[in-house]
A and B are shown apart, each in its own frame.
Chain A
Amino acid sequence: MAETVRPEKGLSPFRKVRNLLLGSLTAIAFVLAVTPLLAIIYVAYDRGKSALSLSFITSLPAGFPVGIEGGILNGIVGSLILVVIASLFSVPIGIWAGLYLWDQSHTRMAKTTRLFSDLLLGVPSVIWGVVGFYVFSTNTGYGFHWGFSGLAAGLTLGFIMVPIVTRVTEQALHDVPMSYIEGALALGASRFQMVRGLAIPAAITGIGTGILLGVLNVLGQTAPLVFTNYYNTGIPHSLVGSNGSVGDLAMQIFIYIHEPSKELHVKAMAAALVLTVIVLLLDMGIRLLAWGSRKYAQKNG
């Protein structure tokens, strides 16, 4: 048994000062980390509170200029559609690529793939938007000719998301201790069984974080939407073609702030608060899901 050590007693004055100093640095770091978030919530709330009500999130924009009356349902629904399309595309590809890079990490092919994936991480989103325009949206020349549409924008955003999910998935798998992996292999698990039953469950929190980072990125993008979707004040009936545009919260904020209308500025800040809350809820949701699946894995293998 180790004897109990009381840290405060009998410390030299130098040690005491140092402890105090390190303690206050930690406190300062905490404040620095928390302040921006609180500031965002405060400013958005303060500026947008007069527009906030339940109908703000359940009704479509109305009045003239459009949005002066009604709410932001078009943006909420549109953002959701874009996130779903982008995730359906990028999550399977990103996880698969991350697994591949982890499994084959030393091969030349994997090193090249990793290099390209990391380069893609740095491509400015406006460029993705322009390329997305030529590939998905434009009605002339080559490409899919989908017009300004949810599908064109969703897939463009999906392409932005893939390298994020790939990167974080690979990192999360590398963080699984080697001893853990060897333990399974030494019991006669095939590589596939080890990956599915142990490595992925052990990395699931990290993979979830990767997906979350990707989704949050998608939620905040406006540049790619300018070229592939623009904006819709209503609910779309189709995801491609001339009526295929969707609404989007970030675009809505961007457009409202640019209108010379005080009311729309208030609505923009109220929408900003809604977007922030959605982001925070998503964050907590993913954490809960990861926590739950880890509990499940512990119980059921």
Chain B
Amino acid sequence: MDPASDTLVPKIVVKNFSAFYGSVQALHNVDFAICERKITAMIGPSGCGKSTFLRSLNRMNDFVPGFRVEGSVTLDGQELYAPSVNPVLIRQRVGMVFQKPNPFQMSIFENVAYGLRIQGVKSRSVLSDIVEKSLRAAALWDEVKDRLNGGAFSLSGGQQQRLCIARALAVEPEVILLDEPASALDPISTARIEELMQDLKDRYTIAIVTHNMQQAARVSDRTAFFLDGTLVEVNETTKIFTNPEDSRTEDYITGRFG
């Protein structure tokens, strides 16, 4: 690991952030920073607001009727929820991988090329290069290089999820958000995704939601514990799992509830 890995450079800074679905408040005054080239894990019992928080970081909740936010989220200092900001451009910089693999009903090649095509890239050779690079980065290239024109649904669940990661990488985002990306996968596929995240963290800022504490402990540099829509504690992962400051965190990681 490089010596710089101990310095924390905030990439996304969240201040006094609250989120509402209609009249229901899902997040209460969260203060939090996601640091550059680190893996930040978010843990907490189901329904505590992890997905809501994650989806607020690339404005995916904009499509939920009645959703609204208060407070501030900045990406490299730029206010995400400012009226002048185009959320489409934010989503190109902050990519997302979902719980259930959701490849498009297209060929493997076209799945990875989709994000580039919508940006207007037409050159076949440029597309081919980036598709190959992205599939390699997602550790999927060797398995699919002979059937790039085959349908994405012919892949296994784990392969589909790595395809979705490749698809997200192809548009060269700065941040990748993963919402329980392995919860629908078998242990071997899960291990591959976790390895992959280690490979990716040299180049990307990664935030992962997981309800699997072992996974958070294995993959992340920093861990945040959410409970009932509030951020209870965020710290270095080793600290959270060995010596948490808040007794509720300790209760959760020792399995006393959740």
Which residue numbers of A lie inside 8 Å of B, CB to CB? 106, 177, 179-180, 182-190, 193, 197-198, 201-202, 294, 297-301
Contact = CB atoms under 8 A, between A and B. Distances in A.
Interface string B99-128: 010111111001001110111000000000
Contacts of B115: 187-189
A114 to B, nearest CB: 15
B188 interface: no
A186 B118 contact: no
Nearest to A181: B63
Chain B: interface size category: 20 to 34
B93 to A, nearest CB: 8
Nearest to B99: A179
A15 to B, nearest CB: 31
A198 B152 CA distance: 15
Nearest to B89: A188
Interface of B: 58, 60, 63, 65, 88-89, 91-92, 95-96, 98, 100, 102-107, 110, 113-115, 117-119, 149, 151, 164, 167-168, 171
7 contacts: A179-B100, A179-B102, A182-B60, A182-B102, A183-B98, A190-B118, A298-B106
B20 to A, nearest CB: 16
Give the 5 A-B CB pairs with smallest separation, nearest first.
A188-B92, A186-B96, A187-B115, A179-B102, A183-B102
Contact of A187 (B65, B89, B95, B100): B95
Nearest to A294: B105
Q: Which of A182, A187, A193, A294 has the most CB of B within 10 A?
A: A187
Given A188-B88, A188-B171, 19 more contacts: A177-B102, A179-B100, A180-B105, A182-B102, A183-B102, A183-B167, A185-B91, A186-B58, A186-B98, A187-B91, A187-B114, A187-B118, A190-B118, A197-B117, A197-B118, A294-B105, A297-B106, A298-B107, A298-B151
A180 B106 contact: no
A103 to B, nearest CB: 10
Contacts of B164: 183
A240 to B, nearest CB: 45
A101 to B, nearest CB: 14
B107 A299 contact: yes
B106 A299 contact: yes
Contacts of B117: 197, 301
Contacts of A299: 106-107, 110, 149
Contacts of B60: 182, 185-186
A185 B63 contact: yes
A193 B118 contact: yes
Contacts of A106: 65
Contacts of B104: 180, 183-184, 198, 301
A187 B63 CA distance: 14
A298 B109 CA distance: 10
Given A186-B96, A187-B91, A189-B118, A301 B106 contact: yes
Contacts of A189: 88, 114-115, 118
Contact of B118 (A177, A179, A188): A188
Nearest to B86: A190
B95 A301 contact: no
Nearest to B94: A186
A188 B171 CA distance: 9
Contacts of B106: 297-299, 301
Contacts of A184: 104, 114, 118
A186 B168 contact: yes
Contact of B91 (A177, A188, A298): A188
A186 B95 contact: yes
A46 to B, nearest CB: 45
A198 B106 CA distance: 10
Q: Which of A186, A193, A197, A294 has the most CB of B within 10 A?
A: A186
A202 B98 CA distance: 20
B207 to A, nearest CB: 14
Contacts of A187: 91-92, 95, 114-115, 118, 167-168, 171
Q: Which of A177, A184, A188, A300 has the most CB of B within 10 A?
A: A188
Contacts of A193: 118
A218 B103 CA distance: 39
Contacts of A188: 88-89, 91-92, 115, 118-119, 171
Contacts of B168: 186-187
A182 B91 CA distance: 11
Nearest to A299: B107
A254 to B, nearest CB: 44
A201 B98 CA distance: 22
A278 B107 CA distance: 35
Contacts of A185: 60, 63, 91
Nearest to A190: B88
Contacts of A300: 110
Contacts of A180: 102, 104-105
Q: Which of A180, A182, A185, A198 has the most CB of B within 10 A?
A: A185
A182 B167 contact: no
